Structure 1
Amino acid sequence: MDLDTVTVRVGEADTAVNITVYRNLLSDVSPYFRGAFEGSFVEATDRFISLTDVTEQTFRMFLQWVHTQVHQHSSGATIPSPVILLPGSTAKNAGNTTTGPVELQPPHRTQSVPDVGFLPDDISALDELGGHQKRWDVEEIEGLYLKESEWINGHRLSLLSFLRLYVFADQYNVPQLRDDVLTALTAQSISWSWWPDIEREMMESAYAKLPPSSKFIRLLVLSTAYCWLSKPGTCSATRLRTIKEMNEDFAFDVMVVQNERLKETESSEGMPFWLEDAMPNSCTLHEHLARDAANCRKRIRDQPYIFIGLIEMCAQDDLSIAEE
């Protein structure tokens, strides 16, 4: 077991903090960190790296995700209730946290739960539209949306937390985290019957920090085209004009999907008309650079706590931001 440590400084100069981390935890999941700490760069000699464009909270969320890869949890297999986004909520899954400073937990796999490889093969994964996870009634969610302004803001902030994690994974080459963020966000959206809505800050940040071909942006495009433009009582043309005023690139991508969907109703070409056909699970969006599709599906099905943890972390992050 490699217990060599490195120091990561995160944040801008006036708010920067140093975090001590086991080197192999970073190297195992990121070619960027592997090259920095195991190559011939000064970071390898000094065992120190500065990430001025990363907040402390985002980096600690990343570390928590890293630890869930090697520390299995016996709980946290159910997607939390949407009320987790409300201040004072007790909806968080008990037991789905680790103890002590997360960056210094020994990097070994525990044996506290049964081998997940023996789970029945017919159990569906939490990111499948026809899966076994509890799905909240749309009217229940709309009730929160209409009556709880704090929930609306909480949902917006949690989506930005997902985006920050994805941007971190994109900048520092953590391919599995990119895929996992998409799985967690897809699973949450399915369970809550509430997909990412059109929001200016989200779109501007995504297009400013990610390449246009990003899978995160693709999820936002599909969500908008299939869920929000098709919502009963919604004028698609009016919504598209609103989107165009916010971000012309995003509006163009949404219109392309809409045109492809309409083409599908007339021929066998184009995009599927229904979301469950266009995106039966999150692997539709994955890069599969860390795991192939078959192993990815097995991991999502057998290790749901990884994605539940991401959902809970982003919810907790939004509450912290709201308090500030």
Structure 2
Amino acid sequence: MALNFLTMDLDTVTVHVGKADTSVDITVYRDILSAVSPYFRSAFEGPFVEATDRSISLTDVTEQTFRMFLQWTQTQNNQRPSGATFPKHEILIRRSTAKSADINAMSPTELHPPRNTTLALDEAGDRNLSISNKDLVRLYFKNPEWVEGYRLSLLSFLRLYAFADKYNVPQLRDDVLTAMVSQSMSWNGWPDLEQGVIELAYAMLPSSSKFIRFFVLSTAYVWLSQDGNCSATKLRILRELNEDFAFDVMVVQNQRLQHKRLPDRMPSRFEGAVPNACILHEHLVQDAEHCRKRVRDQPYIFTGLIEMCAQDASTTAKESEEE
């Protein structure tokens, strides 16, 4: 999928992004789009009006999502050092609040010790976090600003994945999931009943989508195992959220509880169900072996996606405050 800029055709096309009355025109090298998407390759190199006009309209895509997609295409060809600084929890906190002041009082090493380099970003294992789960909950998971930033970042991931799904960018679909799994592994926190995200995911994607599967697994393994409401209450909450989602979660839960000798039994622990992001990948561009090498050798692709979605969340939150 990597594009050689020395041999790249420098023909450009215009992409009209957004609804007709507010659309933005973005000029892009045709080969960049064709290299990552059979949809764009067919549009610009086939017998269609887009090829003649050298333009295409994407009325259901926001400018920010399309620019994030373009930024992702650029990372495919950058040969940076293999190391990458992983985004910290506080990337989702914009204001100086009482709880963020607690964060500032802790040293970077206390919050985020050196990453275990024997693991790829998306691999389950001992992360050696010196910060306790109690502090994680206090500083982040119960901080309303952080929780809202996290929800908005998930929506940003969803829009990017839905763009990749509709316009057939298979590597981006896999990369979004790698970024999300990596973030969950490193932050020791998994998405579960993010109501707005789940509802929108079912509206934008087929129920068989790997993006939805990620939420199904994290809900079944993490949310259902948490203390609190009884099983019947949790099932009611799931059904009220989304009937299809509730069904898929309970299928996974039932498979976990089956006897070990049954071939379709799910692993009992989350690390077994999601040892790395490849369990969610389609591998239409990179096979499993090359995918694992890519995650290890080019971690900046995935940290870049996390940073872009966090920045998009921050922008969205700021715009909401100004309205």
Interval of TM-score (by shorter of Structure 1 and Structure 2): 0.7 to 0.9
Structure 2 counterpart of 1:51, which letter? L
Alignment of 1:1-324 (within 5 A): 1=7, 2-74=9-81, 77-87=84-94, 123-130=118-125, 137-145=132-140, 147-264=142-259, 269-324=264-319
Note the alpha carbon deviations across 1:231-263, whole angstroms, 9 max, x for none: 134433322211110100000000000101111
The 8 Å contact of residues 6 and 47 in structure 1, kept in 2 or not, is answered as: yes
Gaps of at least 5 residues in structure 1 are 92-121
The 8 Å contact of residues 89 and 140 in structure 2, kept in 1 or not, is answered as: no
**Aligned residues, how many?**
294
CA RMSD of aligned residues (A): 2.2
Matches of 1:61 and 1:136 in 2, distance apart? 32
> How far is the alpha carbon of 1:264 from its aligned partner?
4.2
> How far is the alpha carbon of 1:267 from its aligned partner?
5.7
Note the alpha carbon deviations across 1:88-128, whole angstroms, 9 max, x for none: 5999xxxxxxxxxxxxxxxxxxxxxxxxxxxxxx9421100
The 8 Å contact of residues 82 and 297 in structure 2, kept in 1 or not, is answered as: no
Matches of 2:142 and 2:82 in 1, distance apart? 31
> How far is the alpha carbon of 1:184 from its aligned partner?
0.2
Distance 1:146 1:166, change over 3 A: closer
Residue 99 of structure 1 corresponds to none
Note the alpha carbon deviations across 1:254-280, whole angstroms, 9 max, x for none: 000010111146866511110111111
Matches of 2:129 and 2:20 in 1, distance apart? 45
Matches of 1:137 and 1:66 in 2, distance apart? 37
SS at structure 1 position matched to 2:217: helix
> How far is the alpha carbon of 1:74 from its aligned partner?
3.8
Note the alpha carbon deviations across 1:50-83, whole angstroms, 9 max, x for none: 0000000000000000000012334871321111
SS at structure 2 position matched to 1:14: helix
Matches of 1:135 and 1:304 in 2, distance apart? 23
Matches of 1:3 and 1:181 in 2, distance apart? 28
The 8 Å contact of residues 136 and 193 in structure 1, kept in 2 or not, is answered as: no
Residue 102 of structure 1 corresponds to none
SS at structure 2 position matched to 1:40: coil
The 8 Å contact of residues 265 and 273 in structure 1, kept in 2 or not, is answered as: no
The 8 Å contact of residues 138 and 194 in structure 1, kept in 2 or not, is answered as: no
> How far is the alpha carbon of 1:209 from its aligned partner?
1.0
Matches of 1:30 and 1:144 in 2, distance apart? 41
Structure 2 counterpart of 1:6, which letter? V
Matches of 2:132 and 2:72 in 1, distance apart? 29
Note the alpha carbon deviations across 1:206-232, whole angstroms, 9 max, x for none: 111111110001000000000111113
The 8 Å contact of residues 16 and 25 in structure 2, kept in 1 or not, is answered as: yes
SS at structure 2 position matched to 1:288: coil
The 8 Å contact of residues 82 and 299 in structure 2, kept in 1 or not, is answered as: no
Matches of 1:69 and 1:135 in 2, distance apart? 33
Fraction of identical pairs, as percent:
65
The 8 Å contact of residues 264 and 272 in structure 1, kept in 2 or not, is answered as: no
Distance 1:135 1:298, change over 3 A: farther
Matches of 2:263 and 2:83 in 1, distance apart? 41
Matches of 2:177 and 2:33 in 1, distance apart? 21
SS at structure 1 position matched to 2:28: strand
Gaps of at least 5 residues in structure 2 are 1-6, 104-116
SS at structure 2 position matched to 1:49: strand
Matches of 1:183 and 1:207 in 2, distance apart? 20
